[in-house]
A and B are shown apart, each in its own frame.
Chain A
Amino acid sequence: EMVMTQSPATLSVSPGERATLSCRASQSVSSNLAWYQQKPGQAPRLLIFGASTRATGIPARFSGSGSGTEFTLTISSLQSEDFAVYYCQQYNNWPLTFGQGTKVEIK
């Protein structure tokens, strides 16, 4: 099973600052990686697929990069509504697997 490891576990950021989240795969997943945002009590929401393509309606301040085993989600200027937990997910191999999440909290 592909293991996805996210870092850091928690990221404390002030509004308006940049946030950089990392995701590492135990084997290459090519560009078959997605990022999701989850707020308390809500379902996840798709942000990024194909490692770097924003989903419909996702603001340009969200960007994804990477391929193979190393991936990054960058939020260029954090807004109040961006404080949430972010998960990466590989869909290159069965079973599909998720990282453990990075919580972005207000500093």
Chain B
Amino acid sequence: QVQLVQSGAEVRKPGASVKVSCKASGFTFTSYAMHWVRQAPGQRLEWMAWINAGNGNTKYSPKFQGRVTITRDTSASTAYMELSGLRSEDTAVYYCARVAPRNYYMDVWGKGTTVTVSS
């Protein structure tokens, strides 16, 4: 079945970086795009970035531009999100989500990765 399996919880100090992975199965990874979305405690969902898994094209939210990098490894059917310059406000659950074909909404979600930023 279609699945997105994310890496485990991370704890980082302010100023550090974190890299979260999202392994796809049950579908042809390179035929889809992926979003990264985060949710701080008690807050709304917040879109961060998009990557076309086939050609590697990316798009970033202006809020995170310069701090976030998304990549993919087609041989491993895995997408990655790296966030640098971490601050306490980046404490959140980070989700990857598959993009519906020829569209931009999220039709399948990973279970999320909790990133905690604390000194």
State the A residues within 8 Å of B (CB): 1, 32, 34, 36, 42-46, 49, 55, 87, 89, 91, 94-101
- Partner among A91, A95, A99 whose Cβ is within 8 Å of the Cβ of B103: A91
Residue of B with least CB distance to A6? B44
- In the complex, chain B residues 68-119 whose Cβ is within 8 Å of any chain A Cβ: 95, 100, 103-112
**Which of A34, A36, A96 has the most C-beta atoms of chain B within 10 angstroms of its own C-beta?**
A96
In the complex the two chains form, is A46's CB within 8 Å of B107's CB? yes
Complex interface: chain B residues within 8 A of A97 (CB): 47
Q: CA separation between A91 and B59, bound complex, in Å?
A: 13
Q: CA separation between A18 and B74, bound complex, in Å?
A: 45
Using C-beta atoms within 8 Å of the partner chain, give the interface range for chain B. Answer: 20 to 34
Complex interface: chain A residues within 8 A of B107 (CB): 46, 49, 55
- Partner among A44, A89, A94 whose Cβ is within 8 Å of the Cβ of B109: A44
Q: CA separation between A34 and B50, bound complex, in Å?
A: 17
The A contact surface, by secondary structure, is loop
Q: CA separation between A101 and B108, bound complex, in Å?
A: 19
In the complex the two chains form, is B106's CB within 8 Å of A46's CB? yes
- Residue B46 CB within 8 A of the other chain: yes
Residue of B with least CB distance to A91? B104
Please judge, given known A-B contacts A43-B112, A44-B109, A94-B59, whether A87 and B44 are in contact too, CB under 8 Å. Answer: yes
In the complex the two chains form, is A95's CB within 8 Å of B61's CB? yes
Q: CA separation between A100 and B111, bound complex, in Å?
A: 20
Please judge, given known A-B contacts A34-B106, A95-B63, whether A100 and B44 are in contact too, CB under 8 Å. Answer: yes
